[in-house]
A and B are shown apart, each in its own frame.
Chain A
Amino acid sequence: MTQIAIPNIGNYTVALATAVESLGIKPWASTATTPEALKLGTEAAPESVCLPLKAHLGHFIAADRAGVEYALMVNSVGTCRLRYYRHMIEQILKDLGLKIRIFGLGFDGFKPPLVRHFDPGPITFLKPLFHAGEQIRAIDEMETLAWKTRPIELAHGETTRVMNKLLLELSRCRTLAESRAVRRTTASRFATIAVDRSKKPLKVGLVGEVSFLRDKCLNKNIEYLLGDQGIEVKNFFSLGEELRNIARIVLLNKNRGRELLDIADRYLQTTVGGHALDSVAHSIRCAELGYDGMVHLAPCGCMPEVGVRPILKRVSQDKDIPILELSFDEHTCDVGITTRLEAFADVLRERRRKRAAVGVS
């Protein structure tokens, strides 16, 4: 069977794999970039490019070595380096003498070139889309529950076990009905986890660059690390939300960007590119909603995200919300990140204690 490498977008990869599989193509994927792939990418790419490119590239080189003929990647129409990824990756793969052929996903005509190439007919083309949509919805529901449960679980690791089991089941679903059935059991499955309801966990929002928000290898598994510290997280990249936004733009000509601009108001008056506006707007919102802190994740030197860091610092001061800025490159080590997160958690706990003492809720 034809094989195609698909990009790593965290747990969402499961849904993407399902869609590809129902086209009759075998997906080659993992939910996180493997350390080996990252190493391959780092060696092959120019040193000064940003880390997500190296991750992408490494993933494709590893796929080619495994005998995969095709690869799928997102075409960006944005302002930052992402737009040039495909061009650069194709050049490098060619120089390395690799045969793997890349298809862009979306944004150039209604039918993606991949579909045109394999031409599965309209029904076979639409069905997987709905199925993947259902799975994305299921994954979003699971994640939300996992973020809430992990910090108060009694048996360490239980949440992660339940989560992984559900994901595995979801990945085995062949029809929309099966996936829906799994989604409907999600809440009750999480409810079986023994928790300490008396705990009032700290709440932290995760904002920043997408692959760092979602790729557990790149972000050193930050959701788990924070959960282990007894912190409830909310990750502000949701694929379900992105897709709903695209639908809103197409159908209603309503862009979430405008809402975010209203929130960011006097701090940022442009969308910048990437998810930089989201980072600023969500930080402001979270401060108002009483979050205890934010973590801003970005690859070192990320053009849009670094561009708004002075603004995040000001939001942090004005709105009194601690924001931890984390930057990652190929030399970032797990221990360093863990240490910084522990220190951050201490700050947040201390801050909450002090606020409780003076009666600020």
Chain B
Amino acid sequence: MFKRLFKNAPAWIGGAETPAPVALRIGIPRMFAYYIYPALWETFFKDLGMVPVVSGRSTMQTVRLGAQISETEHCLPNKLFDAHLAELVGQVDRVFVPRVLSTIKDHLSCPKFGPLPDAARAGIARDAVVLSVDIDETKTPLVETLHRLGRLLHTPRDRAAAAAEHGLSAMRAAHARMAAPLGRKGGPRFLLIGHPYVLHDDFLAGPVVQKLARMEAEVHRISFGDEAPAKSHILWSTSNKIFHKINSLAPGEYAGVIQLTVFNCGCDSMLIDTFRRAMKEKGVPYMHLMVDEHLSQSGMDTRIEAFLDSLAWAR
């Protein structure tokens, strides 16, 4: 009981016995919330005088580790998440696993995000201290959630408020950077759609982006930074954002749209069909690529080449 009380008490309660405060090291897994709210967490924690430590970029190694330690039936990003989390355990004072329930007002996150911090505590991060906060933008604006996070970390109110402001503006800038096209400027324009943590992950999207760039395409990735999408029958935030984007494409805006889905993703499995239909109605060439643990660059290359060839032939 007392031990628990003291563990959660702010440092100053310890009095003379407490060693000089060292900056708290906060581990941020490079998956999910890291990409959904880009640059926000690093900026926020840094401004609070802490040291954010982001796990490394995803590689084949990360995938292998995920396959070993994660739930067999998890989607690939969740396996990667577990691997990123494992990389941080033991290296930091806290691992940060927010509970992302809703990222757009009146929308829901994938049901996998709800139990994420609990699952971390139960399994991979059982020997670490998990720092978590509920993010539910349907109920609470993000900035207030950040203030709460500041309180959880015992930081003075105005310092947390300033850090939140700074974090949010850094996030807006990051969204803009992430929306910038890759590949050859002025080449045929392609739009990549998918979850933000898929489109910006080195392992999951890297091969596709590189191949398109090598084929002299201008590669655009859907941005999750702009305004809330129109309401539809789709309640999952990312999926509705994508639905909204493809519904509002101007004719000829892109030479083609490529949807990048991930193995065992429940949301994708329900919506691939809807998206394909929408693109067909619009007459925009569309291809769907699924990434799994055994991703082979050559396999991807062949499919992308075939897709681009079919377009050249159509023209």
Task: Decide: B115 and A81 in contact? CB cutoff 8 A.
Answer: no
CB distance from A30 to the nearest CB of B (A): 26
Chain A residue numbers with a CB within 8 Å of B255 are none
Is B110 positioned at the interface, with any CB of A under 8 Å from its CB?
yes
Residue of A at shortest CB range from B235?
A83
Q: Find the B residue at minimum CB distance from A84.
A: B270
CB A125 to nearest CB in B, in angstroms, measures: 28
A91 near B273 with CB under 8 A, answer yes
Within A301-318, which residues are at the interface with B (CB < 8 Å)? 301-304, 306-311, 313-315
Residues on B with C-beta less than 8 A from A274 are 111
Find out whether the CB atom of B273 lies under 8 angstroms from the CB atom of A270. no
Interface residue total, chain B, C-beta cutoff 8 A: 35
* Residues A49 and B270 in contact in the complex (CB < 8 Å), given A270-B101, A327-B73: yes
Chain B residues with CB under 8 A of A315: 122
- Beyond A81-B267, A308-B119: 8 further Cβ-contacts under 8 Å? A48-B268, A81-B270, A87-B274, A268-B115, A268-B118, A269-B99, A271-B114, A307-B112
Query: In the docked arrangement, what's the CA distance between A276 and B114, Å?
Result: 11
Query: How does the 8 Å CB contact mask read for B220-243 relative to A, with 1 for contact and 0 for none?
Result: 000000000000011100000000
Task: Find out whether the CB atom of A310 lies under 8 angstroms from the CB atom of B269.
Answer: no
* Chain B residues packing against A (C-beta within 8 Å): 71, 73-75, 99, 101, 108, 110-112, 114-119, 122-124, 126, 134, 233-235, 264, 266-274, 277
In the assembled complex, the Cα of A42 lies from the Cα of B96 at a distance in Å of 40
Number of A-B contacts (CB under 8 A): 102
Q: How far is the CA of A266 from the CA of B251 in the complex (A)?
A: 52
Among B71, B270, B271, max chain A CB count under 10 A is at B270
Please give me the residue from chain B that is nearest to A300 by CB atom: B73
A sample of 29 inter-chain contacts (CB < 8 A) reads A46-B272, A46-B273, A48-B264, A48-B268, A48-B269, A50-B266, A79-B111, A80-B266, A81-B266, A84-B233, A87-B274, A88-B270, A91-B277, A268-B115, A268-B118, A270-B99, A271-B114, A272-B115, A300-B73, A301-B73, A303-B110, A304-B115, A306-B73, A307-B112, A307-B114, A310-B122, A314-B122, A314-B126, A327-B73
A311 near B114 with CB under 8 A, answer no
Contacts of A303 in B (CB 8 A): 110-112, 266
Report A-chain residues with C-beta under 8 Å of the C-beta of B123. Answer: 310-311, 313-314
* In contact, A49 and B269 (Cβ under 8 angstroms): yes
A190 is an interface residue with CB less than 8 A from chain B:
no
Interface SS majority for chain B: mixed
CB-CB nearest in chain B for A266: B121
- With contacts A46-B269, A303-B266 taken as known, whether A311 is within 8 angstroms of B112 at the C-beta atoms is no
Q: Are A313 and B122 in contact (CB under 8 A)?
A: yes
What residue of chain B has the Cβ atom nearest to residue A329's Cβ?
B73
Residue A267 at the chain B interface, CB threshold 8 Å: yes
Footprint of B on A, CB under 8 Å? 46, 48-50, 79-81, 83-84, 87-88, 91, 267-274, 276, 300-304, 306-311, 313-315, 327
> Nearest CB to that of B290 among chain A residues?
A48
Known contacts A81-B269, A269-B118, A314-B126, A301 near B111 by CB under 8 Å: no
Q: How far is the CB of A120 from chain B (nearest CB, A)?
A: 29
Give complex CA distance A314, B121 in Å: 9
What is the chain A residue whose CB lies nearest that of B71? A309
- Given the complex of chains A and B, what is the CA–CA distance between A271 and B115 in angstroms? 8
For B118, list chain A residues within 8 Å (CB).
267-270, 308, 311
Closest to B115 in A: A307
Closest A residue to B120 by CB, please name it: A310
Q: Are B73 and A308 interface neighbours, CB within 8 A? A: no
In the complex, the answer to whether B115 meets A308 with C-beta atoms within 8 Å is: yes
Chain A residues within an 8 Å CB radius of B269: 46, 48-50, 81
Is the beta-carbon distance between B233 and A311 smaller than 8 angstroms? no
Q: Give the residue name and chain of the A residue nearest to B134 (CB).
A: A270
Name the distance in Å between B275's Cβ and chain A's nearest Cβ. Answer: 12
Most-contacted residue by chain A among B112, B115, B126 (CB, 10 A): B115
For A304, list chain B residues within 8 Å (CB): 111, 114-115
Max chain B C-beta neighbours (<10 A), residue from A81, A274, A313: A81
Chain A positions within 8 Å of B271 at CB level = 84
- Chain B's closest residue to A47 (CB) is B269
CB distance from B216 to the nearest CB of A (A): 32
Q: How far is the CB of B127 from chain A (nearest CB, A)?
A: 13
> Shortest CB–CB separation between residue A94 and chain B, in angstroms?
11
For A327, list chain B residues within 8 Å (CB): 73
Alpha-carbon distance A272/B117, docked complex (angstroms): 12
Contacts of B119 in A (CB 8 A): 307-308, 310-311
Chain B residues closer than 8 Å to A87, beta-carbon distance: 233, 274
Closest to B261 in A: A48
Q: Which residues of A contact B74 (CB under 8 A)?
A: 306
| Alpha-carbon distance between A46 and B101 when the two chains are bound, in angstroms | 27
A303 CA to B74 CA in the complex, in Å?
Answer: 8
